[in-house]
Amino acid sequence: VSRLPRHFPRIHPILPASCNPRSYSKAPKLNKFVQISEEVRGALTSKTPVVALETAIYTHGFPYPDNVDLAIKVEAAIREGGAVPATIGILDGIARVGFSQPELECLASTAGQKTTVKVSRRDLPFVVGMRHKTAYNGGTTIAGTMLLAHMAGIKVFATGGLGGVHRGYPNPMDVSADLMELGRTNVAVISAGSKAFLDLENTFEVLETQGVFVGTFGRAGTKVMVPAFYSRESHIISPNILESPGDAAGLTMTPDASHAMGLSSGQLFCNPIPEESEIPEKDINKVISEAVEKARHEGVFGKDQTPYILNEIKEVTKGASLPANIALVLNNARMGTQVAQELVRFEK
């Protein structure tokens, strides 16, 4: 578990008095290290739609207390659509599927602490296995969240932006584990594409190599590009077009086409940021290039790079990137809710 870069703001060095991670461990167990909340377990049993959510965006993407605010808004948007949110992350060394609001606030308030780590597939066994020694809290990345969602039987997962191939490949050979997870785990991820500071061409090449279905919501018969996080369009043509959440759900339903083909890979449903919240490519490109260059210059790489660059973009745009980021996450949560609704109808 690596340290945060020197420049990452440590916003909240001390836990708020009301937050004791150890006091939240009463949910039913999936196994020794994984708990599922009563609400999420009940929803899955009764075939109520469930939407999984990641927590790395709270621990390593948004400052406290904005992250709490976002976490609450996203869950509320999913409930409004008639689905149950299943926020996934690590609290006190236990992987949780489904957070209560106090638990969410607790995790989010530990953002920036050394024992609050960014947890991808490779980190999971360590953070739970170390519980007796160091009680880690963790924000799970898309890869980490997919793995836990799959374990709990959740098929739909809404998030912000997918990790990808970092610019400068193959020096370093930085390819997000998110792409490999999509290649091996059957969970549908709804995202605003991949972050614009990545090498988008190669990101979509790797997804193809991994056998991941990629579709973008748009009108059939038109030219639909995959979105680029802050901007609605990149210069990459979407390999497939999804006309509706029902279209998307048809791909993840059971028994479905991929199941019939014996596939166990995931799906990526790209959902462009709403027009009114978009930051046009020409306005954000220079900021992004400079942030990437600064990260390189400062020697920030590996798992620290994504949080560092996001924070740089936020600083340089004087916070203007935050509302866009919030808008696209909420937009994806709403779309994820509709996909989960459709999926349940297919399964009934």
Binding residues (CB under 6 A) for ligand PSU: these are 54, 56-57, 60-61, 120, 141-142, 160-161, 163, 176-178, 195, 303, 306, 310, 325
> Is residue 304 near Mn ion by the rule CB under 5 A?
no
CA max distance for the chain:
57
Considering the complex, state which of residue 331 and residue 341 has its C-beta at the smaller distance from ligand PSU. Answer: 331
- Per CB under 5 A, which of residues 79..118 are in contact with Mn ion? none
Outline where the chain has alpha helix (H). Answer: 38-45, 56-60, 66-80, 101-109, 124-129, 142-152, 177-184, 200-209, 245-252, 257-260, 281-298, 305-316, 321-347
Dist. CA 52–CA 259, nearest whole Å: 21
For residue 55, the partner it binds in Mn ion, ligand PSU, none, with Cβ less than 5 to 8 A by kind, is none
Dist. CA 74–CA 54, nearest whole Å: 11
For residue 177, the partner it binds in Mn ion, ligand PSU, none, with Cβ less than 5 to 8 A by kind, is ligand PSU
Q: Output the six-digit token pair for 122.
A: 């490779």
Q: Would you call 195 a catalytic residue per the annotation?
A: yes
Output the CA–CA distances (angstroms, integers) from residue 325 to 9, 169, 250, in the order listed. 19, 26, 28
For residue 60, the partner it binds in Mn ion, ligand PSU, none, with Cβ less than 5 to 8 A by kind, is ligand PSU
Q: Output the six-digit token pair for 112.
A: 């920036």
- The DSSP symbol for 291 reads H
Angle between helices 305-316 and 321-347 (to 10 degrees): 130
Supply the minimum distance, in Å, between the C-beta of residue 148 and Mn ion: 19
For residue 98, the partner it binds in Mn ion, ligand PSU, none, with Cβ less than 5 to 8 A by kind, is none
> Is residue 174 near Mn ion by the rule CB under 5 A?
yes
Supply the minimum distance, in Å, between the C-beta of residue 63 and ligand PSU: 12
Task: Evaluate the CA torsion angle 156, 210, 180, 190 in order and state its sign.
Answer: negative
Active-site choice (118, 195, 303, 314): 195
Considering the complex, state which of residue 93 and residue 164 has its C-beta at the smaller distance from Mn ion. Answer: 164
Length of the chain, please?
348
Q: Output the six-digit token pair for 151.
A: 């374990």
Dist. CA 217–CA 167, nearest whole Å: 26
Taking residue 55's Cβ as centre, other Cβ atoms within 10 Å add up to 31
Considering the complex, state which of residue 105 and residue 174 has its C-beta at the smaller distance from Mn ion. Answer: 174
Considering the complex, state which of residue 19 and residue 295 has its C-beta at the smaller distance from ligand PSU. Answer: 295
What's phi and psi for 266, nearest 5 deg?
-95, 180
Considering the complex, state which of residue 61 and residue 215 has its C-beta at the smaller distance from ligand PSU. Answer: 61
> Is residue 181 near Mn ion by the rule CB under 5 A?
no
Considering the complex, state which of residue 2 and residue 23 has its C-beta at the smaller distance from Mn ion. Answer: 2
Number of residues that bind Mn ion (CB under 5 A): 1
Supply the minimum distance, in Å, between the C-beta of residue 54 and ligand PSU: 5
Supply the minimum distance, in Å, between the C-beta of residue 161 and ligand PSU: 4
Supply the minimum distance, in Å, between the C-beta of residue 167 and ligand PSU: 12
Element (H, E) at 31: strand 29-31
Active-site choice (54, 75, 181, 312): 54
Supply the minimum distance, in Å, between the C-beta of residue 50 and ligand PSU: 19
Give catalytic residues, as residue numbers. Answer: 54, 195
